[in-house]
Structure 1
Amino acid sequence: MENPFKKLDLPPKEVPKELKKKVMDDVKAFAFFSEVIGLFSSNYAAAAESFFKKRRPKKDLNQ
């Protein structure tokens, strides 16, 4: 039986340009969607809290 780990040492093969472009486009789309989701999900609690928080009157700010 041949050792499959010996094949890992061989030089990498070139992939087709179409496949490489598709993979890179998918990675870019994933990065974009993860950033957009992060903007809406991580800051949602802070935005809601600041929206509903009562503000102090201006005279209290000067003291």
Structure 2
Amino acid sequence: MYVAVILLALLSGLLFYIAALQSALPPRRWAMLGCLFGPAVLPMFMARRRWLLVCARGGRYALLRA
């Protein structure tokens, strides 16, 4: 049981590291959060990535065009 939890923590840390590199977020911070909290960090990661995208494009730019 403990081995599965440790492997899940390491795997999610690695996946968050790769996703942070692709999203231009600080990878070591997200890897550490992924190792500590596992997949529970995913909503926070997605919200941060979305917020940085909105800030980079500006508030008046429409993300969805009709």
Please say whether Structure 1 and Structure 2 have the same fold, judged by a TM-score greater than 0.5.
Answer: no
* Larger Cα-atom Rg: 1
The structure whose residues are more often helix, as a share, is 2
Q: TM-score, normalised to structure 1's length?
A: 0.41
